[in-house]
Amino acid sequence: MLEGSTMELGKLYISLFIIFSMVSLTIFFTEVNHANDFKQYVNYQIERNGGLTGEAMSKVESYNQEHYGGKFKVQSNQMNQQFAFGQEVDYLVTREHTFFFLPILSQEISIKGSAISQIR
């Protein structure tokens, strides 16, 4: 009889681990989707402002704070420069994601992006 209750507890722990893993992966892929949405907003600001200028970065930071709680960081070698029409601006959107039930594990979400200046 003792083996039955031990197996039942083992099944319960394994089931909970699988459920938590699935929830954690769902949250992770939701964060990747948010990073793509944020990258699209950065693209729009680069196109409208001719690069990652001070004005563009202030709009990006306020959007980041308002919609995502400041989760994302934009990195680029071409910061605070305005580019002519048709020039490409490369950047990287990063965020550190920690899995909620395994705080030891963390994964950096980094998405490369580029946009073309549309300012004349």
The pTM (predicted TM-score) of the whole model is 0.79
How many domains would you assign to the chain?
1
The dihedral sign for the CA sequence 72, 59, 90, 67: positive
Query: pLDDT averaged over consecutive 10-residue blocks of the chain (120 residues)?
Result: 77 91 86 90 90 89 92 88 86 83 75 85
Looking at the DSSP assignment, which residues form a beta bridge with residue 39? Answer: none
Q: What integer pLDDT is reported at residue 62 of this predicted model? A: 94
Residues 71-105: tens digit of each pLDDT: 899 988 888 888 888 888 889 999 887 777 766 77
| Integer-rounded Cα radius of gyration of the chain | 21
- The Cβ of residue 50 has, within 10 Å, a number of other Cβ atoms equal to 21
Domain range for residue 23? 2-116
CA 5 from centroid of its chain's CA atoms? 43
